[in-house]
Structure 1
Amino acid sequence: MTTIADIARLSGVAKSTVSRYLNGGSVGELTKKKIERVINETGYIPNTFARSLKAKKPNIIGTIVPRLDSYATSQTLIGIDEQLRELNYQMLISNTSQDLEREIENIYTMARQKVAGIILLATQITNTHIEAFQQLQIPILLVGQRHHEVYSVIHNDFEAGYDIGKYVMAKGHRKIAFLGVTEKDIAVGVNRKKGFKMAVQEAGDCEVKYYETSFKMAEAINKVPNIIDEFHPSILVCATDNIALGAMKAAHLKGIRVPEDLSITGFGGYDVTEIIHPGLTTVQFFYKEAGQMAAQSMVKLVNSEDLAPLLLSKHKIIERESVDNLLSRKL
């Protein structure tokens, strides 16, 4: 493996000169051409991470995610990575597999690796998280959750819940099952449900039951049949697209037609929701754009620029075939 020492020897210059060139410092034009020629001939690739550790101002941004097998996570990471590259920063990813202890450990580990800042795609924020943030002398940015002591980029889950609630009511549905997740997850488990409840209260004359499942599609497949048998809702409003996909599978296994016998909605806007049949009506979140926003915000924090403590990303309802219009049936 070619090293800086090799580049210096082959170029006939000092190691410090090569290092200065690689870090964007001032180097004479003739010397610069010598170094560039040797780099091209040897195929030398600078170790960005090592250079960042040695630099007075590191350019590595640590990004901690709860899971890698998630559409929302992957799209957010793409947005973060693309934007950081444009701003001459690099992303270092760490996965926690939805283990909170591991998440806390990774926060400290990232800090020891001298990253310039940490972007945390959080599912919940505990007192242990806040204690870690307070101990570290680097910028921290949350994505997906908010806390009054930490800069945050969030999806407007309350408004999204409210909007899908208004949509469902406008389609004439009044017997509704809402299938959510644990309230430890404030964004998905609490705020989406709160927004939906407000829409229900405004509409009045509704029979709504609230159920809880996990983020896993398989659990929704197992749970939905009992909800259908016990409650007989006209629609299932699911807190994520994965839950909605599980609900659609469960309905199919029971011989229930969507949307003729049961309507289903989700949250997320995953690509697969467009290609399945029937297509899933869902609230689309713009995960990639949220990732770009997070990257821009983190670079501002690293450079001590002003930043609003809370930033909201966009959403919109994508209407497809999975929701029946009950009002049109009565005409």
Structure 2
Amino acid sequence: MVTITDIAKLAGVAKSTVSRYLNNGSVSEATKNKIERVINETSYAPNAFAQSLKAKKTNIIGTIVPRLDSYASSHTLIGIDEQLRELNYQMLISNTGQDLDREIENIYTLAKQKVAGMILLPSQVTDAHLEAFKELHLPVLLVGQQHETIHSIIHNDYEAAYDLGKHVLEKGHRKIAFLGVTEKDIAVGVMRKKGFQRAIDEKSDCEVRYYETSFSITDALINVPSIIEEFTPSIIVCATDNIAIGALKAAYLRGLKIPEDLSITGFGGYEVTEMIHPGITTAKFYYKEAGQMAAKSIVKLVNGEELPKLSLSKYKIIERESVDNRLLHRL
């Protein structure tokens, strides 16, 4: 692998001269020609990442994610990466492993690496986040969560949950279990629940109970049997597709038929929900497109352009086989 040192030796110039040339510094025409000739002969490709770190203004966007094994996170990252490449920027990923302290630490670490801006996919926005943003004076964009003082792109969790709630009610379900997550997560834990509640409040003959689990399929598998036993709902509305998959497995292990004995819905639109049988009815979010929107937005912020404080990504209710039409049983 050819290095700057090799180029300097072959061109008969100092290493600092080659570095100056690569960073568009002042170099004489004769020296420039010698360096260019050696670079062409050796097919040398400069390390764009290292060049960016040395420059006064970098083209690196730091991206912090809570986990890499999440469908939502991975597809959002794909969208960010593809769009940043088109805009001649690079993405530097930092994974926190769902550790909040590590997330705050990573904000400062990325700032030391001279990133031009940051995209965060946080599970929550705390005072520690806001303090870090204020101290570092870097363009910051939140994806998936929002805060009134920070530019944010969110999935329309509230309206999606409202529409999914209406869909469930239109299918004749009146004894409903909603299986959510901690309300520390505003998007998934609060907004999806509130949107669903709004749909329920428009009907007077519903019996609804609200339960909480984690984002884990395994935890849903453990928690769902007690919900079925104590409440016997006609449907379980799950706050994520992973929770819905866990609920589906739990129902099968109890010998229940989906959707005849129990209907199930999710949120997310993960590809696996279409592949399994029965396919899971879900509110599909367009994570890759949200990532592309995030990349365009952070670059605008880096360049000092105007941007709305809040932007919404699109969603669609996908109807599949996991929801029974209870109205047909009454005919």
* TM-score bracket for the superposition, by shorter chain length: over 0.9
SS in 1 for 2:202: helix
- The one-character-per-residue Cα deviations of 1:233-261 (angstroms, maximum 9, x if unpaired) are 00000000000000000011111011111
Note the residue ranges of structure 2 that are not aligned, 5 or more in a row.
none
Distance across 1 between alignment mates of 2:158 and 2:25: 49
Matched, 1:240 2:240: yes
Distance across 2 between alignment mates of 1:22 and 1:328: 72
SS in 2 for 1:154: strand
Which position in structure 1 is the counterpart of 2:322?
322
- 1:21 Cα deviation from its structure 2 partner: 5.5
Which position in structure 1 is the counterpart of 2:173?
173
Note the residue ranges of structure 1 that are not aligned, 5 or more in a row.
none
- The one-character-per-residue Cα deviations of 1:143-167 (angstroms, maximum 9, x if unpaired) are 1000011110110110111010011
Which position in structure 2 is the counterpart of 1:307?
307
- The one-character-per-residue Cα deviations of 1:9-64 (angstroms, maximum 9, x if unpaired) are 43466656644664467999998786566445535332222211211111111000
Which position in structure 2 is the counterpart of 1:210?
210
Moved more, 29-38 or 193-202: 29-38
Distance across 2 between alignment mates of 1:164 and 1:150: 29
Q: TM-score, normalised by structure 2?
A: 0.94
Q: TM-score, normalised by structure 1?
A: 0.94
Q: Return the letter of the residue paired with 2:123.
A: T
Distance across 2 between alignment mates of 1:227 and 1:70: 26
Distance across 2 between alignment mates of 1:37 and 1:237: 66
What is the percentage of aligned positions where both structures have the same residue? 74
Moved more, 1-10 or 87-96: 1-10
- The one-character-per-residue Cα deviations of 1:190-228 (angstroms, maximum 9, x if unpaired) are 000000000000122110000000000000000001100
Q: Return the letter of the residue paired with 1:2.
A: V
Q: Return the letter of the residue paired with 1:143.
A: V
What are the within-5 Å matches in structure 2 for residues 53-68 of structure 1?
Answer: 53-68=53-68
Distance across 2 between alignment mates of 1:201 and 1:169: 11
Q: Return the letter of the residue paired with 1:322.
A: S
Which position in structure 1 is the counterpart of 2:49?
49
Matched, 1:154 2:154: yes
Distance across 2 between alignment mates of 1:252 and 1:24: 65
- How many aligned positions are there? 331
Q: Return the letter of the residue paired with 1:64.
A: I
